[in-house]
Structure 1
Amino acid sequence: MGDRWHVEVDRSLCIGSAQCTHLAPSAFRLDSAMQSHPTEPEADANEKVLAAAEGCPVEAIAVTLLGSGEAVFPPDD
């Protein structure tokens, strides 16, 4: 069984660049205010979701391991 992730978008940081929807269109959507939301806050580990988090220009997307809360992105320093 693979890892499961919790995906969260900090709406106070999101600028609506839509990079996430381009990199992982099935995992993110923009609302009418041009704010990103994960389509499924709990999801199987997925390279496209990770690419979207890494590609967010303001690092508004946080990905953690479901259960432990260990950071996947951004990494703990």
Structure 2
Amino acid sequence: MTDHWTVTVDKRVCVRTGLCAASAPEEFELDESGQGRARSETLPASETVLEVAESCPIEAIGIKHAKTGERIFPPES
């Protein structure tokens, strides 16, 4: 059974580069204002989703384990 992550994009800090949707169009899309968002509230855990979050220039993408709530990205500082 595949783990699932809760993936969020912080709209207060998203600068609308579109990198998330361009890099992983099956997992991310742009809303009507051009901000990124996950296509679903939970996504299967994958290296692709993690790489997209890591490549966001301002770390607007947050990932938590769907069942435990453990933060996956960004890491605790």
TM bucket (normalised to shorter chain) is over 0.9
Counterpart of 1:15 in structure 2 is 15
| 1:50 CA drift (Å) | 0.7
- Give every structure 1 segment of 4 or more consecutive aligned residues whose post-TM-superposition deviation is greater than 2 Å: none
Instruction: Calculate the aligned-residue CA RMSD, in Å.
Output: 1.0
Unaligned runs of at least 5 residues, structure 2? none
Counterpart of 1:57 in structure 2 is 57
Q: TM-score, normalised on structure 2?
A: 0.92
Counterpart of 1:27 in structure 2 is 27
1:9–1:37: 8 Å Cα contact kept in structure 2? yes
- Aligned length, in residue pairs: 77
Using the aligned pairs only, state the percent identity. Answer: 39
Q: TM-score, normalised on structure 1?
A: 0.92
